[in-house]
Amino acid sequence: DDYVLKGSLGRGVNGEVRLCQHRATGELFAVKCLLKSRLRAADEVARAYAERQALAEIAAIRDCAQWVPRLHECFQDASHLWLVQEYVPGGDVLTLLQRRGVLAEAEAFFYVSELV
């Protein structure tokens, strides 16, 4: 009830990412909505839990992870797991590659060097 769901930002195997707005502050977030019914296999549940743990750990060392959207909060209801993250307009690297096809060598070097 703290958020108003807006449009879809993307889809994955186990759910989708949607834009949402915090009712009290008006701040925008990206919320990953994972359908519990699609997390049937033990490895899928473990993967969802590991993602949540990794995002929480990265949030704790924010200065070292400026390119990873910060995890704001997590919660669940009867049918979904919800991971509320910082909204980054413009999308991720996959979206960039889908739009542009290829990156110039200098751009690719920049993004790869940020991962190492």
Cα dihedral 112, 113, 114, 116 in deg (nearest 10): 90
Q: How far apart are CA 84 and CA 69, in angstroms?
A: 10
32 has binding-site annotation: yes
Cα–chain center distance at 29: 9
Q: How far apart are CA 112 and CA 78, in angstroms?
A: 39
Alpha-helix runs per DSSP H in 61-104: 93-100
Q: Using an 8 Å Cβ cutoff, are 88 and 71 in contact?
A: no
Known binding-site residues for ATP equal: 32
Known binding-site residues equal: 32
